Structure 1
Amino acid sequence: MTAPSTARQSLSGRVALVTGASRGIGRAIAVRLAAHGASLVATSSARSAEALEGVCAEIAAQGGQAATVIADLADAEARADLVARASSYFGAVDILVNNAAAMPEFAPPSRMSLAGRQQLFAINLDAPLDLCQQALPAMRSNGWGRILNISSDTVRQPPVPYPASADMVHALAVYGASKAALERVTQGLAAELHGSGVQVNALAPSRIARTESAERIATEMAKTHPEWVESVETMAEAAYQLIAGPSTGLCISSRALLQQWQAPLRALDGHTVLGDCMTPGVA
């Protein structure tokens, strides 16, 4: 894998759609892409509408432009025209970040209900693929596009001894299966689109990103393994590098990418250097 230049590259003139953008990794990636000049369309479900507006206000305060679209990604009809709605603000979407994910039931495979599995796969696999299919015609026509699917370290069964309680590890198995399926689709789509100018990659936290929803487990892990916890800035940096860079078909962790490409870790402003791939997210 050839590493690209780590110099800041402009995304001016590009339109990015980021799902699950009201907080955590989605918010961080949205703010970071806007810092490089991309026009942002941020989406979330209705229950996060207020927080989503706050993200757009944050981007506007930094001189960027952003708009919001509300959609329930678990509902096939509600997401059927999401890319078209997003494109009505700043033009065709040419950067798609499929970040939104859900785990409706915290249960091991032996007990997770069919309804829970169906909703989990609807949001974690079906929705990203639907949005890819919606965005691809314009990307192909323009000869340029970037699709980034956010995956998870849970795609692999952890070795014994487990890094967390056995109950937690088992309860993450079906969630991990949905992300493993997303990675397989990522690689297949990247191969299908070879030579089109559209690049497709998947990115996961190295272990766990310190987000609002993961704060409890991140705090616990940081007591004994601070190196297992990373900041959302780490994911945002790696996401930017993949979107600005030349690679396709990668399914890689944030820290592995930054280490292999020798990229510094910058703040969400895209300028301030915070450290490197080994900087823990324990603040």
Structure 2
Amino acid sequence: MTGPHDPAVTAASALPAGGVALVTGASRGIGRAIARRLAAQGAAVVVHASPRSRAGLDETVALVRAAGGRAAAVAADLADAGARAGLLAAAAEPFGPVTVLVNNAAANPAYAPPSRIDLAARQAGFEINFHAPVDLCQQALPAMKAAGWGRIVNLSSEMAQQPPIPYPGPAKLVHGLVLYGAAKAALERYTQGLAAELHGSGVTANALLPVKIALSESAEAVARQVGASNPHWVEPLEMMAEAAWLLVSGRYNGLVTNSRAMLQLAQSPLHALDGRTVIGDALSLASFA
């Protein structure tokens, strides 16, 4: 879960009153689930997606508001450095400066095996999966440091490491995710270095990933295929939302952890997205409707 210099783990601290969270890639799936959970815990949530996903983004806002939470939306193409340059400033307009940043947005621009990943694909992959979250971290840090409190959660993937055999899915899929995994590995290393730099500032940085597959809309086909023979490889979306909340509400710093390990570390039950209803624990499996 961490390297030889394990970060200190201390008691959880409450989200400060008026806390504002920005969750990228929140038009559906993991991002939407995390946004709903943070809103249920009292955060004002600004949800982001690309302009192409505006309908899903509006649906996320409606779900948060229907549950009694505060939410607003911002749209920007994170693959465009110019378009993302003012994202934190735009996110601060509805509720105030962002003190919780969840970098969830990601994409794989080319499902090609390593021997055929061309330069354009490599540049595009790192632009959205590495440069964009790093830029947003740097945009968010001044306000967090000024407040003396901030939380950065960067979403990673099991594909940051070469999977052992048997692969979690077809070999073609695993080979096609090498570029994605390489960018996520870079993001993990950046997160740990940033955490070390931020030590003692009141701002923390951690990386979070599913054990293998979180049951989201985009991963449902693969999850069903894999889950038929390995049901323990598939986790409910609530698992990622719970783990993200634990990282936001606690004082963990420098972790690169999967969701189930995070629940185990914190000895936390698994809650529904309302933050109140207990629906399981770290061992809970996804349920296919």
**In the aligned structure 2, how far is the partner of 1:3 from the partner of 1:257?**
14
- Partner secondary structure for residue 63 of structure 1: coil
Tell me which residue corresponds to 1:222.
227
The C-alpha deviation readout for 1:21-62, integer Å capped at 9, x for no partner, is 100000000000000110011110011101101110111111
In 2, Cα distance between equivalents of 1:169 and 1:26: 23
- Segments ≥4 residues shifted beyond 4 Å: 8-11
- Residue in 2 that maps onto 1:279: 284
2:144 paired residue among 135, 139, 143: 139
| Equivalent residues of 2:236, 2:286 under 8 A apart | yes
Aligned-partner Cα distance in 1 for 2:27–2:17: 22
What's the CA shift string for 1:176-210, capped at 9, x where partnerless? 11000000000000001111110000000011101
Amino acid at match of 1:90: F
Distance in 1, Cα, partners of 2:159 & 2:152: 21
Does 2:59 correspond to 1:54? yes
Count of aligned pairs: 281
Write out aligned runs for 1:180-219 (5 A): 180-219=185-224
Q: 2:252 matched to which residue of 1? A: 247
Contact kept, 8 Å, 2:209 with 2:258, in 1: the verdict is yes
2:29 equivalent among 17, 24, 29: 24
Q: Which blocks of at least 5 consecutive residues in structure 2 are unaligned?
A: 1-7
- TM-superposed CA distance for 1:261, in Å, is 1.6
How far apart are the structure 2 equivalents of 1:57 and 1:166? 39
* CA deviation profile, 1:221-261 (whole Å, cap 9, x unmatched): 11011110001100000000000001100000000111122
5 Å matches for 1:34-183? 34-183=39-188
Whichever residue aligns with residue 262 of structure 1, its letter is Q
- Structure 1 unaligned regions, length at least 5: none
2:224 alignment partner AA: T
Deviates more, 1:165-174 or 1:179-188: 165-174
Post-superposition shift, 1:163? 3.1
Q: Distance in 2 between matches of 1:65 and 1:105?
A: 36
Helix, strand or coil for the counterpart of 2:194? helix
**RMSD after superposition:** 1.3
Q: Distance in 2 between matches of 1:196 and 1:17?
A: 20
Percent identity (aligned): 58
